[in-house]
Structure formats: C-alpha cells, structure tokens
Amino acid sequence: MPSKPLLPQNDPDVRKRTRQLASSRREYIYNYVYVKPLAMADGVPLDSLPTLKWGLKVGLRLIEILINKIKLFRTSKFDLHQLKLGKLLGKLRLLTAKGFEKEMRSMVNSRKGVDAMVNPFLKEFGLKQPTGTGNSLKEYNDQFQTIQLPAIAHDFSEDSVFAHMRVGGPNPLVIEGIRGVDVNFPVTDKIFKSVKGFAKDSLAKAGQENRLYLADYKRLTVLKPGNFPNGKKFPAAPKALFAIPPGQKKGHLKPIAIQCGQDPKKFPIFTPNDGTAWQMAKTTVQMADGNYHEAVSHLGRTHLLIEPIVVATHRQLADNHPLNILLLPHFEGTVFINYLAQAKLISPKGPVDKLLAGTITSTRQLAVDALDLDFSFNDSMPPNDLKNRRATNSKLFYPYRDDSLKIWNAIHDWVSSYLGVYYRTDGAIANDNELRNWAADIVARAGGRVHGFGEPEGEIKTRKYLYDAVTMIIFTASAQHAAVNFPQNDIMSYTPAMPLATYSPAPDKKRMPASAWIKSLPPLDISELQLSVGYLLGGIYYTQLGDYQWRYFVDKRVAPFLNQFQERLESIEDEIRTRNEKTSKQGGIPYDYLLPSAVPQSINI
C-alpha cells in the first residue's frame, strides 16, 4: 500500500526520503552494455520480478503452444488426453509462489528464456518437427492444430487487407500524407490512372486533396542479410504508395504502387495489375513492416524507451512522491521482460535471429537507432507525431489514430487532475528537487539517455509540460504497447500474411511464375516458431488500464478523478465497439487492439 503522497518540499521527514532513495539507487543501476549504448536496468531488482498471477498466464499459454506442437510434430495419431496438465504445470514450476519466484530468479541468473521450459517436453515426447519449404498454403495452415487459425488467413492476399495494415495493422505508425511522389519513387500519372478506381484521377489532384499516402521503409537500409539458421534471407527497404479514391466518403486507402527498394534504377514499380509479381511486392512490404515493427515500433519505442524512465523513477522519486505512486503500476513487469528480451529473444542464435530478415547485429542496431539516432520524446507524442506525418485528415479511415487519441486525451485528463492535486502552481514544480533530478536523470549521458525529454531538454518548468510528459509515459507503457504487441497473435503469427523474412529476392520483373511467391516464404520450422512466438507474446493480457489495485490511491481527493477516468474509458470502449460493428456491417475490418478493456497497464510481456 503506497504511503501518504507528499512532495519533498512538504515532507517533514527528509531523512527518511533520503535513506529510501539511497537504498533504491543501490538496487536500480544503469547498464549500457545489454543493448549498447541504450540505458537499461542492471539485472532485475527483487521488486521487479513478476507475480505468480502473471506466471500462471504465461505458463498456461506455453502449455497451449506445447499441445499445438505435439499435435503438429507427431506423425502418428496421438491422444492429447494423455498429457497430464498438472504434471506439466509442476515441471513449469508455476504451482506455488515460492517455486515461481525461484524459477524466475533462476531464469535471470542463468539468462535463459521461457523456451527453456518448453524444449525439454519436446524431447521427452520424442517429437520431430517438420522442416523444409512449404509447397502450399495448406502446409502453413496446418501448423494451427489446436491453436485457432487466424481470420487473416482467409483474406490476407486481398488488396483491401494490405492497405488496412497501414492504418490498423501491427505497425500503423509509418504511413504519412504526401503532396506528390519524388524522383526516387517515379510513379507517373499513367501508372496511377492504370489502377482500378483512379482512371479519372491524377497524382496532383490526389495530393492537393490530401488523398495521397506513402509508407517508406528507408530506415531498413541498415539491415544486412541474415542467414541463420536456414540460409540467406533478403531484407528490403521498399516504398508503397496508397490513395483514397476520389469521391469516396469512407476514406479507405487503396494500394497504387510498390517499389521494393530505395533506388528506382534497381527496382521496378509494381501495381495491382501485375499478378504474382504484385503479390510478391506486397509480401516484401509486409516483411519490411514486420521488421520495422519488431525492432523500431515495438522493441525500441515502447520496451526500451520506458525502461530508463523506470530506472530514473526509482532512483530519483521517493516512494511517497505523488508521481512515483502514479507511475509504478505502469512499470510493473517491464524490467523483467526487457531483461529476458535482451538476454534471450534478441541474442545471437535466439528467436529474433532465426525469424527476422537481417543479421542479429544489424537488427539490434536498427532498434538502437530508433531511440539513439533521430528520436525525440516530445515529437513522438501522438498528437505531434500524427501532425508531423500529415496523418490528421479526418477523411482518412485510420482507426489506430482515432482510438489512440481518445485514450491519450483520457489519460491526459486523468494525469492533469491527479497531479493538479499536488502541483497547484508552476512554483510547486520549481520547488520540487526530486522532480528536477528525475527530469535531468532521464536525459543524462550517465542516466537514461532519452532524447528530447523536457522543455527545454532535461528540465520541467510548467505543469502543462509535466502533464504532457507523464501522459506520454503512461500512454506508451499501456496503449501504445498494446497497439503493437497484440497483433502479433492474430496477424503476425500467420506467416504467409506477414513473414518476418523472405528467402528469395524481391521481384525484378512484371511476370513471375505462380510458384515464386510460396517459395519466398520461410521454411516450415521457422514459420512454426513465428506462430509460437506471436501466439505467446500477443496473448498475455495482464492488468487493465485504469484498474488500479483496491485503495491504491490513499488520498481521498484523488477518488473522484479516478472514477471519471474509469468512466471515460468505459465510454471509449462503447464508442469503439459501435464503430467496429458499423465497419463490420460495411464489409470492413474492425480494429479492437485499443479497446480499453484490452489494454494492460504496463509493458509486461
């Protein structure tokens, strides 16, 4: 239970605060080696270990994956009832809090991952995994034995679904409005008019009317072709052009053209008229989007962005500081899951090395660049980011944007009301030495190394900026992570819809044999790994935004504001569900990743 919240200038027991902070600084130490040169916590402090409830959720998910593997890997009929789930749970050491804590501590000390708890079962049952390149979609579909085949398996090849991925898929953060194409993507009016629905349109008119959009993956040029574990992969940095048809009231994007690399002299332009080559070009974009998603939008700009702020909060804000009390629920599990990620998931020969298109070194560099090269905390706040990407046009059907802004505003009102109880004037901010140290620590070279935090950088002088910054932290740890994490389950787990690597070059001519596309997909064993990882990471819902522990806020002045926040989230839930019902009736794809009931409080998976 949190202590009575007090700003340091109002706390008579200064010595107690000083002792407590000194103790926290011994526990929370910066590490710049795990994902060099980004700041992370050194190890996992005891109070950052996950709870038994979280462990049970993960354990049960692992059992579902294991059962699917057993059903898939067995060549003869096998009765799943032979599996004794109690025995499996016992082996996973998830039956008692004591046993669970011991296993989590062992996992940290040995730097092993959760897969180390599954692999022994595969050996015990003598399972042999199918390998080699798939020859048909059926072989990829059949990998879903006891795990339900995602709905996207039925329509992923449709152009409308491909376009929807840019505004409502796993990575709805790349699309940007443009006035026209540049010389490095020489789409002509002739090409534009050749696409069905645009015969009487023009590039200039579409640009002037804010109907022209670009997805450019030039950031991926840093990737070097990976070859682990099954041979050469082919990363790409494509450009994809989209437009809203003239006169369309719904504002749905349609794909116009794809160039599978940055240099127009090396890569031809494909349109929906190009058959198999077009399908391969779309897959190239999906592969690029998946790599951008995992390294930049997901790992870099949620997990690795929040961790140094977690460390700075423990080091600089006393336990009874009002801001510390507000933030801690939004940090639960982050240090632990990030430790596992850097120790296992993105380690050499780990799952990311197996799955993604680039070498593990270049993929890690991509994640580092996402925060260390051109990132700005302030510019990344959703209202600013959307404006910078010229994606604010209300005529564009962009469910991620609409839902994220609703949640952003709800969090902002909650944060403003809560912190307003303690900071009555900007002067109270100026007198708060812990807040001052916190802001400085977040950006310091010897601290969190977060670029663009503060106004000016490393300083907080007004309540307005404080409210914006704290909203950004909570939004990133909750809604933003939910938006990029949970599509890993029902979209990215199905490899043909979004392979994380292709195993043949991007198409280089208009006519490609029909078999070329399926041959470009990952081998079956890699596809099954993508299924398992996506199903695990995208299926753990632990905690819920706005649902703080009972009597977490002991200050009675906070209660009415918390009630308002919770009621606001319920209202947003209703609005999204109503919109989704309408979208479904009109034959569109509903977007439910930002339903408040499906948004956890923190990055804990």
Residues 502 and 129: their CA atoms lie apart, in Å, by: 21
pLDDT tens digits, one per residue of 436-492: 999 999 999 999 999 999 999 999 999 999 999 999 999 999 999 999 999 999 999
Residues 531 and 150: their CA atoms lie apart, in Å, by: 10
pLDDT value of position 133: 81
pLDDT value of position 250: 87
pLDDT tens digits, one per residue of 252-298: 999 999 999 999 999 999 999 999 999 999 999 999 999 999 999 99
Residues 148 and 154: their CA atoms lie apart, in Å, by: 13
Nearest to 228 by CA among 532, 503, 516: 503
Nearest to 216 by CA among 177, 190, 188, 160: 177
- What average pLDDT does range 92-98 have in this prediction? 51
Choose the weakest-confidence range: 7-11, 149-153, 237-241, 549-553. 549-553
> 78 pLDDT band (50/70/90 cuts)?
very low
pLDDT value of position 547: 97
Choose the weakest-confidence range: 81-90, 140-149, 529-538, 542-551. 81-90
Indicate the helix (H) or strand (E) that contains 215: strand 212-216
Residues 359 and 404: their CA atoms lie apart, in Å, by: 33
> pLDDT at residue 100 above 80?
no
Sign of CA dihedral 160, 165, 168, 172: negative
Domain formed by 1-156+292-605, architecture: Up-down Bundle (1.20)
pLDDT value of position 3: 76
> pLDDT at residue 82 above 50?
no
pLDDT tens digits, one per residue of 108-138: 666 555 455 445 444 544 455 667 888 999 9
The H-assigned helical ranges of 176-232 are 189-193, 203-208
For the record, the structure tokens of 591 come out as 């977007």
- Please report where in the chains the tokens 């106004």 appear, as a residue: 455
DSSP secondary structure code for residue 303 in this structure: I
Q: Which residue has the higher pLDDT, 114 or 162?
A: 162
Mean pLDDT score across all residues of the chain: 93
Nearest to 509 by CA among 260, 162, 306: 260
Query: What CA dihedral angle connects 178, 181, 185 and 190, to 10 degrees?
Result: 130
- On the question of a cis peptide bond just before residue 456, with omega within 30 degrees of 0, the verdict is yes
> pLDDT at residue 347 above 90?
yes
Residues 572 and 479: their CA atoms lie apart, in Å, by: 13
